[in-house]
């Protein structure tokens, strides 16, 4: 069994002993989200025991008390050393003035079941060089970080009280911001679907809340057999997902049938 401390990732605990999942969930109702495999994959790979303690309103010692009977060795002496080794804030955060920060809390928008992407892009496009957009959310917006990172934005995220994340997007220089309405590229969708007839997996993500649609699609692609395609019923054209598909060398065709009804076909030619 492994030796753990406050900076050990939750994912490492679950790999070492699957029974750690129920032990962690018993600490706080807020950890029930870990039962969802996709959210668990997202959260566990990034959250340490110290971070999870803040989310659950408990302490690392509470974690240790639950995990020690499962065979984990506890290294309490490493806490100060690990804290000192944390990644420092980036340079832009040291010099950013309050007047240069635009703030946007997307939690009310997501709670209404709406997509804040267009609003976020509008705020980002309004930034001048040397300014930043600060987004408040219930989770770290990893897809947005990846998307804007490719456009030259510097980012920094931190978790504050409860399960609240603050993420800054700093405009260091001129960059190209993607359009909210990406080209659907649906000209030959039916032709490609016919080529993969009998070799297509279908999923429906229309009922899922962000960021689960993107995570569900990526999870399905991770398990997609070679030579097969993925057909997705979606509510919108997933702009965050498209750069990720290109990076993984997938092609896609998307067609908006009606508002809230998008067909997405993903394949490797």
Q: Are residues 193 and 164 in the same domain?
A: no
Torsion region of 229: left, alpha or beta (phi above 0 gives left; psi -120 to 50 gives alpha):
beta
Residue with tokens 């962000």: 210
167 and 146 assigned to the same domain: yes
Instruction: Decide if 65 is inside a domain.
Output: yes
Query: Domain check: are 159 and 195 in the same one?
Result: no
CA distances from 142 to 108, 150, 188, 200 (A): 19, 12, 31, 28
Widest CA span in the chain? 62
Q: Which of 32, 54, 84 is the last residue of a domain?
A: 84
Q: What is the residue range of 210's domain?
A: 189-267
Domain count, the chain: 3
Per-residue tens of pLDDT for the chain, all 269 residues: 789 998 898 989 999 999 999 999 999 887 887 888 877 776 777 678 887 887 777 889 999 999 999 999 998 875 544 544 455 789 999 989 999 999 999 989 877 767 787 788 889 989 999 999 999 987 778 778 877 887 889 999 887 766 688 999 999 877 655 554 455 566 788 999 999 999 999 999 988 876 678 878 888 898 899 999 999 999 888 877 887 788 789 999 998 888 889 999 999 97
> What is the rounded distance in angstroms from the CA atom of residue 4 to the CA atom of residue 123?
42
Report yes or no on 177 lying in a domain. no
**For residue 179, is it within any domain?**
no
Residues 25 and 78 in one domain: yes
14 part of a folded domain: yes
Q: What is the CATH number of the domain that holds 11?
A: 1.10.3910.10
């Amino acid at each position: 069994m492994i030796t753990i401390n406050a900076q050990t990732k939750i994912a490492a605990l679950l790999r070492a002993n699957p029974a750690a999942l129920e032990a962690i969930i018993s600490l706080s109702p807020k950890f029930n989200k870990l039962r969802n495999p996709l959210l668990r994959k997202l959260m566990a790979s990034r959250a340490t025991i110290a971070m999870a303690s803040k989310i659950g309103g408990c302490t690392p010692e509470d974690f240790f008390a639950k995990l020690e009977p499962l065979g984990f060795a506890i290294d309490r002496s490493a806490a100060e050393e690990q804290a000192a080794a944390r990644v420092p804030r980036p340079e832009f955060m040291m010099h950013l003035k309050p007047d240069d920060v635009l703030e946007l809390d997307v939690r009310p928008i997501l709670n209404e079941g709406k997509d804040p992407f267009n609003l976020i892009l509008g705020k980002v496009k309004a930034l001048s060089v040397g300014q930043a957009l600060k987004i408040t959310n219930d989770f770290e917006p990893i897809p947005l970080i990846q998307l804007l990172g490719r456009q030259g934005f510097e980012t920094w995220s931190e978790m504050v009280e409860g399960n609240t994340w603050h993420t800054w997007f700093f405009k260091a220089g001129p960059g190209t911001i993607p359009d909210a309405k990406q080209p659907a590229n649906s000209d030959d969708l039916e032709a490609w679907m016919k080529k993969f007839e009998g070799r297509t997996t279908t999923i429906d993500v229309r009922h899922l809340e962000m960021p689960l649609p993107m995570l569900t699609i990526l999870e399905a692609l991770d398990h997609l057999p070679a030579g097969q395609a993925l057909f997705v019923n979606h509510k919108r054209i997933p702009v965050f997902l498209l750069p990720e598909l290109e990076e993984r060398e997938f092609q896609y065709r998307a067609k908006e049938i009606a508002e809230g009804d998008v067909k997405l076909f993903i394949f490797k030619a």
